[in-house]
């Protein structure tokens, strides 16, 4: 009696069972989610990514809202194609068999909509905070302002690029390195190093002094790579305030200029 029950308990491993016949026809790799070549990450999504793991989770959730529908439809098509190879009507499959085949398809899914969107997102304008605030000329001397920027950048206080940036930043503001670059590089930079004494070198950056209160300031071309300490949480996307690009809800450089074009820069990090 017990031996007679074994085939019934074996489920989809039973010889001749539809699932056993269909399963070999499911390809070794499948792509269940598709990102249109015109799609990319929005400014709001990039802003979230720069905030850390919680930001990545929020972006994944927003992607999954549409990707889950794609996954379902594509999985059904995979099952249909596999059934046709065995001349089996997909409507004849019971729920357990269908879910078993769905799970196999998911395990073999090589699609990564997040990576695709990241790759298809063009260069963005980013700011790396040097954690330095320059007072307005109404409250401090020009030499003191130049010295503050020099200490933040490692440049000489009499460097003409510091003078240029400060010359139009009468109201003072935060000091940044600004560059145009790859979103993935900026996200990695924002996450910070694993150890101490780490540095970041940015080639193609501008030295920016920006008041988030009124948008005044100036950006001076550095014309050479600059190396500063690498600290987590200092990267921000410079985009319109409506997209979350301002500092503390204030002005971004994009708000001030109406849009900035910079040749693509490069970011190199060192753990020290």
Three-state secondary structure of 58-125: HHHHHHHHHHHHHHHHHHHHHHHHHHHHCCCCHHHCCHHHHHHHHHHHHHCECCCHHHHHHHHCCCEE
Average pLDDT, the chain: 89
Higher pLDDT, 194 or 28: 28
Determine the average pLDDT of the residues in 57-83: 92
- Phi and psi angles of residue 109, each rounded to the nearest 5 degrees, phi first: -75, 125
Cα–Cα nearest to 116, from 33, 194, 190, 231: 33
What does the block give as tokens for 85? 């190879």
Query: Is it the case that residue 184 has pLDDT exceeding 90?
Result: yes
Helix-strand-coil split of the chain, %, nearest 5? 45, 20, 35
Distance of alpha carbon 235 from alpha carbon 264, whole angstroms:
16
The pLDDT of residue 243 is 65
pLDDT at 16: 56
Q: What is the pLDDT of residue 160?
A: 97
Least confident of 30-34, 57-61, 218-222: 57-61
State the average pLDDT over residues 235-249: 74
Instruction: Give the percent of the chain with pLDDT over 70.
Output: 90
Mean pLDDT of 171-178: 96
For range 129-158, the mean pLDDT: 96
pLDDT of 247 higher than 80: no
Lowest mean pLDDT among 82-91, 123-132, 177-186, 233-242: 233-242
8-17, 59-68, 223-232: which is most confident: 223-232
pLDDT at residue 249, as a whole number: 63
Mean pLDDT for 219-225 is 95
The confidence score (pLDDT) of residue 94 equals 93
The pLDDT value given to residue 240: 86
Q: What's residue 66's pLDDT?
A: 87
Which pLDDT belongs to residue 187?
Answer: 93
State the pLDDT at residue 53: 67
Q: What is the pLDDT of residue 244?
A: 63
Q: What is the mean pLDDT of residues 96-102?
A: 95
- Mean pLDDT over 186-196 rounds to 89
**pLDDT given at position 3:** 39
Predicted confidence (pLDDT) at residue 107 exceeds the cutoff of 90: yes
- Judge whether residue 11 has pLDDT over 60: no
């Amino acid at each position: 009696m017990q031996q007679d029950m074994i085939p019934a308990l074996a489920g989809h491993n039973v010889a001749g069972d539809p699932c056993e016949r269909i399963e070999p026809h499911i390809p070794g790799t499948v792509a269940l989610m598709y990102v249109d070549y015109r799609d990319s990450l929005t400014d709001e999504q990039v802003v979230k990514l720069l905030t850390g793991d919680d930001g990545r989770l929020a972006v994944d959730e927003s992607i999954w809202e549409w990707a889950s529908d794609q996954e379902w439809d594509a999985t059904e098509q995979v099952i249909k194609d596999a059934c046709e190879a065995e001349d089996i009507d997909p409507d004849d499959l019971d729920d357990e068999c269908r879910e078993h085949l769905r799970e196999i398809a998911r395990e073999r899914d090589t699609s990564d909509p997040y990576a695709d969107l990241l790759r298809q997102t063009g260069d963005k304008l980013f700011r790396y905070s040097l954690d330095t605030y320059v007072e307005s000329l109404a409250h401090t001397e020009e030499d003191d302002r130049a010295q503050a920027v020099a200490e933040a950048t490692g440049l000489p206080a009499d460097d003409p690029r510091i003078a240029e940036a400060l010359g139009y930043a009468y109201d003072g503001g935060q000091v940044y390195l600004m560059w145009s670059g790859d979103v993935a590089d900026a996200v990695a930079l924002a996450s910070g190093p694993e150890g101490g004494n780490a540095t970041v070198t940015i080639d193609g950056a501008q030295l920016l002094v920006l008041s988030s209160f009124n948008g005044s300031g100036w950006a001076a071309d550095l014309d050479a790579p600059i190396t500063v300490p690498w600290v987590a949480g200092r990267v921000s996307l410079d985009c319109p305030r409506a997209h979350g690009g301002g500092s503390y809800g204030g002005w971004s450089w994009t708000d001030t200029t109406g849009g900035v074009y910079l040749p693509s820069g490069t970011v190199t990090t060192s753990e020290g």
